[in-house]
Amino acid sequence: MKEWMNDMAVINRLKRIEGQVRGIIRMIEDDKSCDEVLIQIGSAKAALHKTGQIVLEGHLSHCLIDAVHEGTEEEAIKKLSSALEQFSRIV
């Protein structure tokens, strides 16, 4: 695992998102209204997207720069392009 991936801020964000999803499950089990559930789903989705942005920033500032120093930037750019394509599919 890359050094920046151990960043507790990212891990803590993901744990909060995990808690949000558990809360959504409880809401459905408790037969909460659809609009309340959808609002919480939107909130969890936004939090997950923001976390993805943070991981992407980490990738740019660490992995891509390392690749330039190692002379493997073409391979790193291909991987980044693929990752961006996958990330951009999140709607």
Beta strand extents in the chain (DSSP E only): none
Percent of the chain with pLDDT over 90: 54
Smallest CA-to-CA distance from 20 within 42, 39, 40, 46 is with 40
Smallest CA-to-CA distance from 45 within 71, 53, 67 is with 53
- Token pair 């930037």 is at which residue? 73
Fold of 3-88: Methane Monooxygenase Hydroxylase; Chain G, domain 1 (1.20.58)
Is the pLDDT at 1 greater than 60, yes or no? Answer: no
Contact 67, 73 (CB under 8 A): yes
Give the distance from CA 91 to its chain's centroid. Answer: 13
Residue 2 is predicted with a pLDDT of 57
pLDDT in tens, 43-87: 999 999 999 999 888 888 888 888 989 999 899 899 889 888 888
